[in-house]
Amino acid sequence: MTPLDYGIDKARVLIEALPYIQKFAGKTVVIKYGGHAMLDQDLKESVMLDVLLLHSVGIRPVVVHGGGPEINTMLKKVGKESHFIRGLRVTDEETMEIAAMVLVGKLNTEIVSLLNHFGGRAVGLSGKDAQLLQAVKKPLKVQNTQGEYEEVDLGFVGEIEHVSPGIIKSLLDQGYIPVISPLAGGVDGESYNINADTAAGKIAESLEADKFLLLTDVRGVLKDVNNPESLISVVRQEEVPGLLETGVLTGGMIPKIECALAALKGGVGSVHILDGRLPHAILLELFTDGGIGTMIIG
């Protein structure tokens, strides 16, 4: 390929992206950043560059990040075991302190620093800032061996009751990129750990985001979980019960779909589940004709 041919190919890519850039300019896109994309340095940089490109072409990105693996690592360092019930971390007072230290003190700061290093204008927040996320202690009942349901104490795990997005809107209007860690203040004065997918979905609803992107470690919804080529590109809301019934939706994909449906019900335009392990997954999903993940629509 000659330098001219290479240049023409690059120009074609830009032309393909143009109608999407025009369509999404001025729109809010909430990105839940998590999984392997938070652990690999090259992927970290890929995601941050994608976010910056969105911002540079007039889209309003909001990043909400998780941090489960990093919290697990820190707990191991202090000799504390992690316990989960139905995928939710049991969070006692010491675990809550460590989670806050990792999410706010380490990961949030790292993401903001990386965005700013590449020329962005990022600002770090937690859900406790400006009463952004307010929560109550999350109730949970599980079935015991006798088939009876018992209340389980998850500790400082919260369920979001209210979102006050004013601080996010203010930052977006001033040209900043908000980066949010999923901690919430409680009406009882306590701090609560919130599932990052849920926090991102609730924030997307409160902003009436045009798009909500969930970065995961799978390609999207697969007809056959053992065949990565069996990707379903578009799932309509009414198709979900059938996909559950036939076993297409299983395991960790079920809560992500539930999160997606709640976001759609709350006014989000569309939800995208995509593989954050692929470099520039965000741009490939939003700015190419085919996309790379699964789009869920109402």
Residue 274 in domain? yes
Structural domain that includes position 37: 25-292
Residues 6+ apart with CB under 8 A from 291: 233, 272, 284, 285
**Rounded average pLDDT per 10-residue block, the chain, 298 residues:** 80 89 96 90 94 97 92 89 79 91 95 97 97 91 72 88 97 98 91 94 97 93 86 92 88 87 95 94 91 91
Per the CB < 8 A criterion, the answer to whether 132 and 202 are in contact is no
pLDDT of residue 283: 95
Residue 17 in domain? no
**The domain spanning residue 161 has which CATH number?**
3.40.1160.10
**Is residue 67 a known part of a binding site?**
yes
pLDDT of residue 65: 97
pLDDT of residue 159: 92
**Is residue 189 a known part of a binding site?**
no
pLDDT of residue 226: 83
Residue 53 in domain? yes
pLDDT of residue 43: 93
Residue type, 276: G
Report the C-alpha gap between 50 and 282 in whole angstroms.
6
pLDDT of residue 297: 92
Enter the tokens of residue 69. Answer: 């693996």
Report the C-alpha gap between 233 and 56 in whole angstroms.
27
pLDDT of residue 85: 79
Residue 19 in domain? no
Report the C-alpha gap between 261 and 259 in whole angstroms.
6
Residue 13 in domain? no
Residue 6 in domain? no
Residue 298 in domain? no
pLDDT of residue 4: 80
Report the C-alpha gap between 12 and 142 in whole angstroms.
54
Structural domains counted in the chain: 1
Task: Output 205-208 pairs: Cβ under 8 A, ≥24 positions apart.
Answer: 205/163, 205/262, 205/263, 205/266, 205/267, 205/268, 206/163, 206/164, 206/165, 206/168, 206/266, 207/28, 207/30, 207/62, 207/165, 207/168, 207/169, 208/28, 208/267, 208/268
Residue 11 in domain? no
